[in-house]
Structure 1
Amino acid sequence: MNDRRFYRLVPALAATCLTVACGSVLQLAGIEGTGDSTGSASGYGSLFVNGRAFATDTTQFTLNGETVTEADIRIGMQTRVEGDLLAPRADRVTAARSLLAPIDGISRVGAVKAATLSILGQNVQVDEMTRLVGTSLDALHSDMLVDVHALVSDGGGLLATYLTVADDAYVPASQELLVTGYIDTLSATELTMGSLTVDLTATADTDTLAVGDRVRVQGHQPSRGGNLIATTIARDTLDPAPGSYADRAVLVDGVDGNTLIAGATTIALGGAQRLDRSGATIEPGTHVIARGPVDASGLLTAVDVEVLPAPDVVLRGQAAVQNGEIRVLDQAVATRAVTQLLESRAGAARQFAATDIRAGDALTIVGYRDTSGDLVATRIERQDALALASAYGELSELVTGDESTRMRVGGVQVVTDSETVYESVAGTEIPKAVFEATATAGLTTQAWGVEDQAVGVLRADRIRLLNSEEDIAGR
Structure 2
Amino acid sequence: MERSIMKRHIRNRVIGLAAGTVAFGVISACGGAGGGGLDVADGGIRGTGSSVGPVSGFGSVFVNGVEFSTDRTVVGDDGINQESRLVVGMILRVDGEWRETGLGDAETVEYDDTLRGTMQVLSPWDVVSKTATVQILGQTVRIDSQTVVKGMTVETLDNFNDEFVRMSGWRLPNGEFRASYLGLRTQNNSDDFDSLNAVELEGNISGLTGTEFMIGSQLVNYSGATPDGLTLADLSDGNAVEVEGSLSGTTLMAQEIRPDDSRRYVQGTDDDIEFVGPVSSAYSQSTGTFTVNGITVRVTGDTEFDGLSGPADLVQRILVQVEGDFESDGSVTAEEIELREADSELEGGPAQEIDLSAGQFRVGGALVQVTPLTIITDDDEARLSLSDLALPRELEIEGIERVGSDGSIYLEALKIERDDESPDGEFELTGRISEMVNDRIQVLGVDLHISQDTDFDQISRNELQGLVDAGQRPKVEVEYEFVGTRYVIDEIELEEDDDD
TM-score, with normalisation over the residues of structure 1? 0.69
Q: Matches of 1:140 and 1:384 in 2, distance apart?
A: 17
**1:261 aligned to 2:291?**
yes
For residues 21-80 of structure 1, the C-alpha deviation after alignment (integer angstroms, 9 at most, x for no partner) is xxxxxx999997642121223221132111111123x33235644465433211111223
Q: Matches of 1:390 and 1:377 in 2, distance apart?
A: 17
Q: Matches of 1:157 and 1:208 in 2, distance apart?
A: 24
Instruction: Note the residue ranges of structure 2 that are not aligned, 5 or more in a row.
Output: 1-12, 15-40, 188-195, 465-473
* Aligned positions of 1:375-390 closer than 5 A: 375-382=411-418, 386-388=422-424, 389-390=426-427
Partner letter of residue 106 of structure 1?
L
State the match for 2:241 in structure 1: 215
Instruction: Note the residue ranges of structure 1 that are not aligned, 5 or more in a row.
Output: 1-10, 13-26, 169-173, 400-404, 421-431, 468-475
Choose which of 232, 254, 275 in structure 2 pairs with 1:230: 254
Q: Give the drift of 1:213.
A: 4.2
Partner letter of residue 181 of structure 1?
G
Q: Give the drift of 1:251.
A: 2.5
Number of residue pairs the alignment of both structures matches: 411
Contact 1:278 1:309 survives alignment (8 Å): no
State the match for 1:111 in structure 2: 128
State the match for 1:293 in structure 2: 325
Cα pair distance change 1:106/1:91, threshold 3 Å: same
For residues 79-131 of structure 1, the C-alpha deviation after alignment (integer angstroms, 9 at most, x for no partner) is 23233435622244332221112223423678241112222232211111111
State the match for 2:314 in structure 1: 282
Partner letter of residue 154 of structure 2?
L
Q: Matches of 1:222 and 1:452 in 2, distance apart?
A: 62
Identity of aligned residues (%): 24
Q: Matches of 1:106 and 1:410 in 2, distance apart?
A: 34
For residues 382-425 of structure 1, the C-alpha deviation after alignment (integer angstroms, 9 at most, x for no partner) is 5676343441536989x9xxxxx99989886488998x9xxxxx
Cα pair distance change 1:228/1:452, threshold 3 Å: farther
State the match for 2:27 in structure 1: none
For residues 214-236 of structure 1, the C-alpha deviation after alignment (integer angstroms, 9 at most, x for no partner) is 4221244456xx55443332224
* Aligned positions of 1:38-117 closer than 5 A: 38-56=52-70, 58-62=71-75, 64-66=77-79, 68-86=81-99, 88-107=104-123, 111-117=128-134
**Of 132-141 and 322-331, the range deviating more from structure 2:** 322-331
Contact 2:276 2:322 survives alignment (8 Å): yes
Cα pair distance change 1:395/1:301, threshold 3 Å: closer
Pairwise CA RMSD of aligned residues? Answer: 4.6
Secondary structure of the residue aligned to 1:271 is coil
Choose which of 350, 366, 370 in structure 2 pairs with 1:331: 366
Contact 2:368 2:412 survives alignment (8 Å): yes
Cα pair distance change 1:338/1:67, threshold 3 Å: closer
Contact 1:446 1:466 survives alignment (8 Å): no
* Aligned positions of 1:168-187 closer than 5 A: 175-183=197-205, 186-187=208-209
Secondary structure of the residue aligned to 1:297 is coil
Q: Give the drift of 1:330.
A: 1.2
Choose which of 144, 152, 163 in structure 2 pairs with 1:135: 152
Cα pair distance change 1:123/1:272, threshold 3 Å: farther
Choose which of 161, 166, 173 in structure 1 pairs with 2:180: 161
Q: Matches of 1:52 and 1:314 in 2, distance apart?
A: 26
**Of 132-141 and 382-391, the range deviating more from structure 2:** 382-391
Partner letter of residue 177 of structure 1?
V
Q: Give the drift of 1:344.
A: 7.8
Q: Give the drift of 1:260.
A: 2.0
Partner letter of residue 352 of structure 1?
S
Secondary structure of the residue aligned to 1:138 is helix
State the match for 1:151 in structure 2: 170
Q: Which has the higher helix share?
A: 2
Contact 1:330 1:457 survives alignment (8 Å): no
